[in-house]
Amino acid sequence: MKLLITAFITLFTLFDLHAQANSELNSSKATQSKYQAGLHYNLITPAWSGSSEEAVVYEFFSYMCPGCNSFEPTMQKLEGKINESQKIIRVPVAFYSQWEPHAKAYHALRLMGELEHAHEALFAAIHQYKKPLRTLEDIAGWLSSSFAIDAQKFISTAKSFAVDSQLRKDKQMAQAMGIGGVPSLVINGRYKPDFDQLKTSDNIIESTMYLLGQE
């Protein structure tokens, strides 16, 4: 009797594992058929070759862009879904001279280790609270009063050679990946989701996760 029960349990376990594997395979196939190159995402040729060995989502954005502000909740959801072998790299763009202080601010905050708590707040200050943060000095004053960040250290960091070099790299990346507007995502330097075709936040996240697994 015990042997019969053991055999039954083993058979049931194997059946359950087989069904689970088929379910995952069918789900993968459904996602693959749902998102098509040339329709839901575009291929970048040649692909951007980054230095990271991890799978990367590049987000091109500007603090001054209303669409980027609206897109931030989607980025927060996406951050919650990626695993430890994947990462998000934000790339601040300066399509206009008025956007340059904010691109510099991003990298200065990153270098100072202050980005985590100031990133979302800077979006909110500009778009929700309508703070006139147009220059580095304006941003420095707001950071000082809001987060007790040293204003002079922030300005000197924002004007440093390291930040200028990073901005040049950002511009090179945007040009190489064909970024003409923001917000934009590029996965692994190769795949660029088409937000107009994807339409919803959930589709953008799902397609991004799918494309992350293609490399």
Which residues constitute the domain of residue 1?
A: 1-34
Please, where are the H alpha helices in the chain?
Answer: 2-34, 66-79, 100-112, 115-127, 136-147, 151-158, 161-176, 195-198, 201-212
Tell me the average confidence (pLDDT) per consecutive run of 10 residues in the chain, 215 residues long.
49 48 47 82 91 87 98 97 94 97 98 96 98 98 98 98 97 96 97 96 97 85
Could you tell me the CATH number of the domain that includes residue 80? 3.40.30.10
Q: Rounded to two decimals, what is the model's pTM?
A: 0.84
**Residues 10 and 56 both lie in one domain:** no
Kindly state the DSSP code that residue 99 receives in the 8-state scheme.
Answer: G
pLDDT at 26 (0 to 100): 45
Which strand (E) or helix (H) includes residue 205? helix 201-212
CA distance 168 to 164: 6
CA distance 132 to 156: 21
**Residues 74 and 98 both lie in one domain:** yes
CA distance 83 to 14: 28
Pairing status of strand 86-92 against strand 55-61? parallel
What are 141's two structure tokens? 């004053």
pLDDT at 53 (0 to 100): 74
pLDDT at 16 (0 to 100): 55
Q: Which amino acid is at 207?
A: S
**Residues 27 and 81 both lie in one domain:** no
pLDDT at 214 (0 to 100): 84
Enumerate helices (H) and strands (E) in the chain, giving the number of each.
Answer: 9, 5
**Residues 157 and 88 both lie in one domain:** yes
**Residues 93 and 181 both lie in one domain:** yes
Q: How far is CA 182 from CA 61, 94, 144, 150, 186, in A?
A: 5, 10, 28, 30, 11
pLDDT at 20 (0 to 100): 53
pLDDT at 19 (0 to 100): 45
CA distance 15 to 46: 45
Contacts of 205 (CB under 8 A, 6+ apart): 74, 77, 78, 81
pLDDT at 4 (0 to 100): 47
